[in-house]
Structure formats: structure tokens, C-alpha cells
Structure 1
Amino acid sequence: MTVFKNQKRGGRWTYDFQLGGQRYQGYCVDPTTDTQAKNRREAAEIESMLRRAARQTYSLTRKGARPGTYTLAMAATLHLQRKVGTDPDHIANHKLYVAEILGFFGPATAITEITAASVEEYRQYAATRKLRVWIGGPDPKKRRDRTDDKWWRTTKRVRSPRTTNSYLMCLAALFAIAYGTRNPITRERELHFSLEVKLLKTARREPRPMPDGEFDARQAVAPPWTAEAAELSRVFGLRRGEALWVERRHIDREEGGLFFSGEETKSGRDERVFGGEVGMVLLERLSRQAVERRQKHLVTWPGPKHWRAMLRGEEVPVAAWCPIKSVRRSWRTTIKTGEIEQPHRFHDVRARYVTEVAKVQAAATQDAARHADPATTALYVKLAAGEVRAAVNKAMGHRPERSKRCVAK
């Protein structure tokens, strides 16, 4: 053990050892967090970490391999290679994350040269970046380069903590790749310890079942395609993205519901989704509509050129109908037009579905919600405020002789 408390330097813990004829000494500061050792145990752990790093450098030098040759760009290349085969939008997002990270640190920067201090600098940089929006329009064939600045417009708003965390998690993934990669000559790790990347605090929003009154008010003013997606979510408990990409081929008439193969689901396994007799009526109606429009998706819209005309009651050419990528804006618009005072999220429609199933048979709730963890299902099962109020009123009025005591004399 070569650590001691240096009283001449304010009582700071110090290390001092030799390796390969070279002397290593300094203060015991954790290289992953930049925090000083507070006791002998912490000092010994830091000294052991630094000794291993020095031994790795010494080994590389003896074997003729130059230390610090594994760059951030190498880790980024492997990171993107591992994303091949996933959703194209997911790959495009990670290309954006990687482009910003490499632009900040420099692609040729050796990953061993990145310190905890520089990680914190990037963390602050990422948290203060302005939010950018895509102006390249729909690109079904994915020909536009999402890393090209000409397809983006910078807004005046700062990124949300959740968006910033996506970039930070990508950086942490690059460090993990470097830590798990071994030098082909020495078989030593390219990064001896993985740097810590602290995420920003985000508000945790639990699902809240949407009351029927709010749902009906929104449906009354929503465009047809938004109303159809919301109805699919209400009857089948579909997520917003699922409601938009579900196709006629997913209808399972024999089982009376929808069937998604493992390649299409969030869990990676085959899933069956049920909506009862009401759900099958809805599916048949949307299926006939899709056939008339010569589309395979159940939810379609007349495109940016014809949707206003359709809402005015004008006829839409059959060739104009196409799948819709998002209903975020139209769903948000129903808050104002429907005069909703305390709006719920679209995902809360799914929470309504899960709660209704739990009322009938709790054992079937997890399978109906398609959750791997029962704890996740428990978060969804909540009664609306009106139902809780009605239950309490009923409970309090059940014993009138007790209720009389609350009346002031």
C-alpha cells in the first residue's frame, strides 16, 4: 500500500509508487468523478485503479503498441454498427447523437484522454443547446441526410432534459464499448475504467386513465384520422405509434383481435391484442375503409394537400390517401377546440384500457397490457378522479348512523 495522508498539503491523501523504473505520485482523486479520497479505503481503491492504468501503459510500451490509439470515432463506428437492423428512425437519431458528440470532443481524440471534467463540460453544453426541428418533410425512401444542417431549423427553445439524456446515454454507450474492447496486441482493455455520465433529472409522469368525458370531447373535434387512432387505442390499448402503423394483415379474425409478430413489437415477442366484439366491429370498418382507399394501413389521411379540403366536405382523390406518421399536433389542437381544462396525454387513453380490464379480471391485466413487468402494469391501473369520488361518496353514505356525527349542531 503506497498511500498516505500528506499533512503539508492540507491532509490530502496522496499516492506514490514506482513501475518500470518510473515514479508515479499525486493526489488520490477518482478519475471517473474528479472527487478526492476522504479516507484510506477510498485512497487505496483510487491508487489501485491508477496503478492498473499505469501497468497497462507500461505493457503497451514494452510490446511496441502505442497507448491511446483507440479513438472516440472508433467506438462511435461500432456503436452505429450495432444499431443496424433496428428502426430506421432510431438509427437516424443515433447518428445525430454521435455527430454532436464527435463534434464536441473531436473524432480523433483518444478515448483515454477524455476526463470527467470534459464529460461534465459536454453535459452542460448538451443541456443548453437549442431545440432543432426537422424541415425536410416526409421522406419515405430515407434519402435525406439527417445530419445535414440544411434540413433542420433551430428554435428559440432549449432542449428538454429527456432529449438531452438521449445524447448523454449515447456518450455513456461509447465509453462502455471502449471499456469492453481489448487491444488486439496486448489483450488489455482500451479503457481501463468507464467514465460516469450523469443524466439530467426528469419529471416522472405516471399514466393517468383518461376520463370518458374528456375522450368524448376530444373525439368530437378531432380530425377523422386522429379520432380513429384514439379509438384503436381505447378499444385495443394500442400505443400511439402502434395505432398508426397497424395494417389489415394484423387483423386476426379467427382469434378475434390483432396479431403482431416479434419483429414488430416492443418486447420482441409475438403478441395478441384483443378488443372484444366492439373492437372487431371497429377493425372491420377500418379494414373496408382501407380497401376503398387502396391502402394497407387502417389509419390513413389525405395528405398535406387535401386534408383541409376533406374537412370542408370535399371529395379526396383515391391516390391522395396515405399513412400518417404522427397525430401529435392534431391531438394537441383538440385541447383548445374541445375546451379541455386539465388535458391528459394520448398515452392515457391506453391507461384507460388497462384500468377497465383490471376492473373485470385483474389476472388478465398484464397480458392485455402486454407488459413484461407486472410493476409496470400496476402503474397504469388507476381509477379516474370521478370514479374515486363516487366510490368514496358511496362508502361514506353506506352507514348513515356514522355520517350523522359529522353534521354540525
Structure 2
Amino acid sequence: MTVHFDKARRRWRYDFVLSAVRHQGYCLDALGEPVTSKSAAKQAEGVARRKAEIAPKLPDAGQLALAQVMADLKPLWKKQAHWPNKKRYMRELLAFFGPETPVSFIDEGRIGDYVKQARITPVKAWKGGPKRDPDAPENARFWKDTGRPRGPATINLYLGMLREVLDRATKIRDPITKLPAIERAPEVPELHVPKRKARPVPDKVLSDVLAIVPQHVIEAIMLTLYFGFRRGEVFTLAIHNVDFDAGGVRLFAENVKDAEDTFLPGAPEAMVYLQKLVDQARSRGQTRLIMWQRKRKDPEAQAQEPWREIKKPKSAWNRAMRIVGEKFGRKFRWHDIRAAFITHVALTSGQLAAQALARHSDYDTTQAYVEVADETRRMAANRVAQRPALVAVGGKRVEMHQFTIATWSISQADGDWYVAEKIADVPGTNVYGPMREAQVDPFIAERRAFFDTVANRMAREIHSQNSLTPNFGVSGEGLKLLK
């Protein structure tokens, strides 16, 4: 029965279910007055039923499709530099989960299924050249299977997009019911990626590379060695970035990784080299300092060939690395040139200076580059040889040289911190400060690295004068932190 008489309120009521939605209320006539008979109540119930049938359906927030959420995020993604890669991520996620799949149906189990599939998906390389569109369906045959499975870092890029989509779904609410598409986003895992530290390119390798690569790559390498540019920074460097009055290069927030305006001082030799590149760019009628030209056999065609901007020297670098790999047994990344710059600064000027010129906000990031410059660890390794079993080498006794270089003590006054430095055999004490407490340990570490370098140099000089065997030890006794 869909109509009944409510004795408590002395009114006829209707109660029916339509499209899984329950409808109930008082039975009213055309004038809005309560009806007084069962037949009139049935007529009123029929009117309410017809109204419910023609009324617009209430949307279900839980039915929000994956493709709809991606469509909301697509305008933002299109403005990002890596949009071509994002398009590939979108296609794969939509193909696996289904474009019309409600985001509420994507749970952690389904995400785990995707991760398993991604781990066995082989890496494909584009072999269609620069003129064909890699995203065009008719060019799909130019994507060649490399036979290598995807690495965790690559899979994390796809998972990052999925995480962004699900997070967006938690913020979308139904305009009528005000319910979110999903109450809580399922956890999207972050796969463990092996931590690989930068390995600076040795000078002997750089010498070979500079003899192989074309001129525009030579210019980029030279600027990276002078200023420690990232790859994206050096190839977008323009005339307006060079400040000859201040003697350096100005990088603007929109073009750098840390989104902050930066001034990089340059050595006199670096500024001379920059002047050459600026003059060269002006003679070409260009603003970019580093550009390239296609090589033509016909001199007239070569003269008409336009200068082109470049994002990265992929072909030239790969060709050079094939030769380097055959000769030295390993290849290097472009970023390893920047690592060579940071390591050189750490060895010659200290690790704090390396952090400043590398533009690292976190000192832990700098440490990944400057381990080779850690003289404390090097001295500890040297002491390993100071054992009776190892002291005799080639029938000769190895002479050990002990150096006490400096000691430090820390004091505090009125909330400021001071460091007193006493250098052996030098009268007086140097006091540094005031500084914050957080600056004390890095400052002492920098001074320690400097004096450790001096100790090693002294040991090498004594060794060369005495014609000793190369196995000698250097002690850092006296390099203590007195608190």
C-alpha cells in the first residue's frame, strides 16, 4: 500500500520508492489542502509519483569518473614544462583503470594491481625522429621495446599523477548533496628508489669530452665549470642574465629550480669568457648565449641555416659517453659536471662555500656532492694503515707524521655564540662571532676541513723530502671540539 491514513495527525499520507529513492508526504489536492478520502489520496499519490519521475535525478557524488577529475586538472598540467610526459601518464592510467571508472572504486588493492603491472611493463624508446609526433596514433610503431623493465623512479612519476587525481577527488563536492566524491583518498605508495650520489667528472675525462663534443656543448660545459649551472639553466642563459658591472650572472626565479632570484659571482676568467659569448650572440642577432646550427655540406646553405635553441645536448653527449665508456670503463651524466664544480669549491674553499655556490637550501644535499672533500674521513682512513701488521712495507719502516693544527672552544653571551680558535705555534686566539647556535657546528666543520687539508699537504711535503714510501699517516690530534 502506498497511501495510508495517519491517525495521529488525521491526514492521508503517501509512501513509495522510485529509482531506489523513497518519497513520502501528505496527500494534498490541487489547492494544497489535505484530502479527506482514500480515492483522493490515491490521486494525490499519483501526482507526486509523476512529479518524481520527471524531476531531475539527484547526482551521486560517488559516481565521479576518473576522466572527469583528470579533465579538471588538465589545464594546470598543460602549463607545466613536462606536459608531453603527463599526457603519456594520463593515457596509461585511463587505459588501466578505465576512463568512466568512479574514483570511489579505486582502492588500495586496485592501486597495488597497477603497481604490479607497471613493474613488468618494458621501457619503450622513441625511434621516430624529431619531425614525427610521438603522441600520434599512426606513429605508435616507432615506439620500440627496449626489453628493460621500468625502474621505480619512473613508476613513481605515474603514481604521483594518480595521487594528485585522488587528492583532487577528496576536494570535489556534489553541488546538491554537498557530499565529497571520496571521503578519504586511498594510500598511493612511493616506491623505494636507490640513492645515487653524484660522481664528479675527473679533469682527464673532461679533457677528452671537450675534444669530442661540438662547440655549443663546449660552451655549456665551460660555463657549468665556472658557475655550477644546472643543465636547464645553462642552455637558457641569455644576454640579460649577465651583469658585467656586478661581475657575475643573475638567474631569475621563474627559470631556476628553487624559484628564487640568484646572483652568482664569477671569476675574472669567467667574465672574460661570458663577454666572448655575449659578443657572439649579438653578432648572430640572438639573445641566447648557447645555440646550435645544423651542419650543411653546401657553404651557401650553411650560411642560411638558422640558429636554434637547445634544451639538452642528447646526441652529442651520448656520442661522447660511448667513447668515454670504452676508455674509462664508465659513463657520466651531465649533472656530474656540476658535481665537479661543487667538489672543487669544497676542496678549495670549504663545504659551506660549496653549499652557497651550489644553491642548496639543505646542507644534507651538499654532503651528497662533497664526500670526496671530507678530509676528516680521509684522515681516519689513513690511520687504518697505522697497525703493526701493516707498518712494514717493502722491508722498510713507514715514518708517521703527527700534526696538531688547531683547537676550538665555544662560549655564549647574551644569547649569541662565539667560537675561539687557537692555532698551534701561533700566538693569540682568533674569536669568531656573534653567530646563531645552528651556525656553530657547520662553521667548525668548515675550519676543520681547511686545517685537515693543510695537515695533509704538510705530510706530503715531508714525505717527498724524505723519499719515504707512499704509505704514510696523518693524524688530526688536537682537532677536537671542546664543549
Tell whether 2:140 aligns with 1:148.
no
Matched with 1:298 is: 289
Shift of residue 145, structure 1, vs aligned partner: 6.5
Q: Distance in 2 between matches of 1:403 and 1:286?
A: 59
- Residue pairs, 1:328-347, within 5 angstroms: 328-338=314-324, 339-347=327-335
Higher strand proportion: 2
Alignment match, 1:167? 158
Aligned counterparts, 1:86-165, within 5 A: 86-87=80-81, 90-134=82-126, 137-138=129-130, 147-152=135-140, 153-157=142-146, 158-165=149-156
What displacement does 1:84 show? 4.8
**Alignment-derived partner of residue 25 in structure 2:** none
The answer to whether the 8 A contact 1:293-1:318 is kept is no
Residue 374 of structure 1: aligned partner: 363
8 Å CA contact 1:96, 1:146 repeated in 2? no
Give the 3-state SS of the residue equivalent to 2:372 in structure 1. Answer: coil
Q: Counterparts of 1:366 and 1:165 in 2: how far apart (Å)?
A: 28
- Within 2, Cα distance between the matches of 1:185 and 1:302? 60
* Aligned alpha-carbon RMSD (Å): 3.4
Question: Where in structure 2 are there 5+ consecutive unaligned residues?
Answer: 1-56, 396-483
Aligned residue identity for 2:182: L
Pair 151,241 (structure 1): closer, same or farther in 2 beyond 3 Å: farther
Among 317, 337, 340, the alignment partner of 2:303 is 317
Q: Normalising by structure 1, what TM-score?
A: 0.71
Displacement of 1:132: 3.3
Q: For residues 358 and 350 of structure 1, do their structure 2 counterparts lie closer, same or farther at Cα, with a shift above 3 Å needed?
A: same
By how many angstroms is 1:280 displaced?
1.0
Which of residues 352, 360, 368 in structure 1 aligns to 2:340? 352
Residues 230-252 of structure 1 deviation map (CA, whole Å, 9 limit, x = unaligned): 11111110112222121222111
Q: 1:219 aligns with which of 204, 210, 221?
A: 210
How many residue pairs are counted as aligned between the two chains? Answer: 332
TM-fit CA distance, 1:220: 1.6
* Contact 2:63 2:102 survives alignment (8 Å): yes
Letter in 1 for 2:83: I
Mapping 1:64-75, distance limit 5 Å: 64-75=58-69
Say whether residues 1:230 and 2:221 are aligned partners: yes
Deviation at 1:209, TM superposition (A): 1.9
* Aligned-partner Cα distance in 1 for 2:232–2:217: 12
Which has the larger Rg?
2
Which letter maps to 2:340?
R
Determine if contact 1:300/1:323 at 8 Å carries over to the other structure: yes
Cα 1:129–1:148 shift into 2, 3 Å: farther
Structure 1 residue identity aligned to 2:155: T
Counterpart of 2:235 in 1: which secondary structure? helix
How much has 1:159 moved relative to structure 2?
3.2
Distance in 1 (CA, whole Å) between partners of 2:344 and 2:74 is: 41
- After TM superposition, the score normalised by the length of structure 2 is 0.61
* 2:313 alignment counterpart: 327
Q: Secondary structure at the match of 1:375?
A: helix
CA offset digits 1:284-311 (Å, max 9, x no partner): 12222222333222122212x53xx59x
| Structure 1 match to 2:255 | 264
Which residue is equivalent to 1:22?
A: none
Tell me, in whole angstroms, the C-alpha distance in 1 between the residues paired with 2:123 and 2:137. 13
Q: Which residue of 2 aligns with 1:185?
A: 176
Corresponding residue for 1:42? none
Q: For structure 1, which segment, 250-259 or 180-189, has the greater mean C-alpha deviation from structure 2 after superposition? A: 180-189
Deviation of residue 365 (structure 1)? 2.5
AA matched with 1:354? I
Among all aligned residue pairs of Structure 1 and Structure 2, give the percentage whose two residues are the same amino acid: 30
Say if 2:351 and 2:370, in contact at 8 Å, map to a contact too: no
Post-superposition CA distance 1:57-78 (Å, at most 9, x none): xxxxxx9442422111122122
The amino acid that maps onto 1:356 is H
